[in-house]
Structure 1
C-alpha cells in the first residue's frame, strides 16, 4: 500500500452538518496526528468511504431524517475482512436504551460506538485510536487473506500442472506402446514377406537388412521432429540417399515442402525404398544412364488438400510387366494406399516403372 492509499485508509471521516462539532473534532484529531476529512453531507460521506477511511465520526442528527439505504448497501457490500467502525455523537442523556432511533442505527451501522456530547477531548482521541487499531487489524486480515488466496492460486496452478504432466506422460506411454507395436508389426511383415519371396538365405538376409535400414532412416527423420510429422522433401531425400552415386545426377527430386503425419512419412519412405531397390536391380538404376524422377504437387484449394506424387523411371533396360507381383509391389499398392487413405498405382511402362500416388494431406 502506497503512502496516499495508507493516508486515506487511516483517516477519519466527519459528518456533523450543524454547529461547530465537525471543526472541533477535526482539530482535536489532527492535533494528535490523525488525518480528518469533513464531509458536508451524506452523499459526500459515501463518496469518501469509497476512497477509503479508518472510521467515521457522525452526529446522530445527521442520520435522524436521512435516507440511509445507500449507506446500508455500502455496508452490506463490504468484503469479508471489513467491519467499518462508526463513532456516533449523541445528546446527553439520549442513550440507546431510551432512544429507539439509536437502536435502529445500531442495526444499520453494526460496528458503532456512542459518544455523548459534550465529550472530553481525551475520550474522543481514545475512541478514535481504538477504532483505527481495529481498522488496522482488518487491513492485516485483508493482507493475510490475499496471501492465502495467492498461495491457493499457486497451489491450484501447481496441481493443475502436475495433473497435466501426468496426463501427458500417460499419453506418451500409450503413444510409445502404440508405435512400438506398429514397428514390430511392420518388421514382422517385412521379414515374413521377404522370406516368402526370396529363394536363398543370403538374398533374404540382404533384403531384410536393406528394408530395416530404410525403416530406420525414416524413424530418424521422425525422431528429430519428436514424432510430430516430417517434411516430404526430407522424407524423399533420406529414402533415396543410399542410392545416390558420386559425380552422377540420376535422382531428380522436385516438389514443394509438405508436412506429413508420422504414418504417411513411414509409409512413403518404405515405398520409395522398394521402388529404388527395384530400380537398382531391374530398372533405371541398374545401368549407368538411367534416371529416376520423383515429383509432387499439392492441390491446396481442396479440403483437405491433396498430394499428387509421381515416381517415373527412364533410360533403363526395356521394362515388361512381371508375371506376378512381388512383396515390394504389394507393399506399395496395398499398404501404402491404406496408410495414406488414398490411391496408389504402379505401371510397368516400356521406359520404366511409373508409380503415382494421390492422397489427402491432413
Structure 2
C-alpha cells in the first residue's frame, strides 16, 4: 500500500522506484528489516557493522542480534498485530555504541500486516549528550567555586573597609579582576591562564599608556583555573597599590614581575615575585603595618596563598615593595 503522501509517475513501476529508494536509505545510514505477520524475515539490508554477517540464509532477530536483544524485540513486537502500531527501544553495544530500533506495523495492499524495523545509529548523539551533561556539571562546579571566591572577597573587603563607599570601590575592582582572569580561562577552554597574559590583563587597565612600566620575565606557565583567579587577584591588588599609593608613575621606575618553575620536595612549584622599586619611602617604616592594612595585605598574605596551598611574603620597605608567592603548579585544581 502506497503511503497517502507519496506520489509517483504512472509510468514508473514499484520495482524501479525501489532501485532508487534502497540506496537512499543506505546513504542515510538506516538499516531496514521487513517481516511478515509471523515475523518471518522478508528483507534485511544495511545492518550496522557490529551485526553485519556475510551469509544470512535464514535470518532471525536472535541469529542477528543475539538472545538478549531478540527477547526485547519480541516483547516490543508482541502487540503489533494491527496496522499503525509503533514502538521503539534503544540498544547499547559495548560502552560507546547506541542503536535505536523503531518498529511499526504496516498494512500492505493484499491486506496482510507487516512489521518494518528501522535501525539508526545514535552513538554520536548520545556522545554529545553525555559531553553536554559533563560540561553542565563542570559549569555548575566552577560557578559554585567562583561564587565561593566572591563571597570570600566580599567578606574580607567588608572587614577592612571603613565605609560603604570604600567597600564598593574595592569590591568592584576585585570583581573586575576576577572577570578578567575568568575571560582568559574561558578562552583556553577552561584549562587555565598563562602567566604573561595574566599579568598583562591585570595591569593594562591601570597603565594604558605606560605598559612599559611593568616588565615580565621568567617562565610563561599555564596556571590552573583556581591559581589563575587568585594570582590575578594578587596582581590586581599590587598594581592598584602601585598606581594609587606608590611611586610607579611619579618615579617611572618599572615594576619587575617574574615567574619561575621549580621542582621542590618532589613536586613542581611556581614562584612569583613582584618587585616595585621606590626612590623614597612612602611613609616612615614604623607605619609598615598600617600601610599593609591599607594595601590589601589580607588578600595578599592570607586569602591568595591559602587558596593555592602556598606561602606568601609581603614586604614594604624604604626602597621597595616586594611580594613573593610560592605554590604548587597544579594548585587548587579546578
TM more than 0.5 = yes
Residue 234 of structure 1 corresponds to 197
Pair 1:204-2:167 in alignment? yes
Higher normalized contact order (CA 8 Å, seq sep 6+, divided by chain length): 2
Render the CA deviation track for 1:243-287: whole Å, top value 9, x for unaligned: 224256211111222111100000100010011111122223252
Larger radius of gyration: 1
Residue 56 of structure 2 corresponds to 141
8 Å contact 2:195–2:259 — kept in the other structure?
Answer: no
CA gap of 1:302–1:199, structure 2 versus 1, over 3 A, is closer
Render the CA deviation track for 1:130-155: whole Å, top value 9, x for unaligned: xxxxxxxx96417979x957x99695
Residue 266 of structure 1 corresponds to 229
8 Å contact 1:229–1:260 — kept in the other structure?
Answer: yes
CA gap of 1:243–1:159, structure 2 versus 1, over 3 A, is same
Residue 345 of structure 1 corresponds to 313
Question: Distance in 2 between the 1:334 and 1:275 partners?
Answer: 14
Question: Distance in 2 between the 1:341 and 1:254 partners?
Answer: 23
Residue 322 of structure 1 corresponds to 289
Q: Give the number of the structure whose residues are more often helix, by fraction.
A: 1
2:233 match: secondary structure: helix
CA gap of 1:143–1:300, structure 2 versus 1, over 3 A, is farther
Residue 190 of structure 1 corresponds to 153
Render the CA deviation track for 1:112-136: whole Å, top value 9, x for unaligned: xxxxxxxxxxxxxxxxxxxxxxxxx
Question: Distance in 2 between the 1:255 and 1:234 partners?
Answer: 13
Unaligned runs of 5+ in 1: 1-137
Render the CA deviation track for 1:210-248: whole Å, top value 9, x for unaligned: 111111110110110121212111111111111224256
Question: Distance in 2 between the 1:341 and 1:360 partners?
Answer: 7
CA gap of 1:207–1:305, structure 2 versus 1, over 3 A, is same
Provide the alpha-carbon RMSD of the alignment: 3.3
8 Å contact 1:282–1:317 — kept in the other structure?
Answer: no
8 Å contact 1:284–1:292 — kept in the other structure?
Answer: no
2:149 match: secondary structure: helix
Question: Distance in 2 between the 1:292 and 1:176 partners?
Answer: 36
CA gap of 1:247–1:193, structure 2 versus 1, over 3 A, is closer
Unaligned runs of 5+ in 2: 1-52, 66-90, 100-120
Render the CA deviation track for 1:60-95: whole Å, top value 9, x for unaligned: xxxxxxxxxxxxxxxxxxxxxxxxxxxxxxxxxxxx
CA gap of 1:202–1:325, structure 2 versus 1, over 3 A, is closer
Question: Distance in 2 between the 1:260 and 1:171 partners?
Answer: 22
Q: Give the number of the structure whose residues are more often strand, by fraction.
A: 2
Residue 225 of structure 1 corresponds to 188
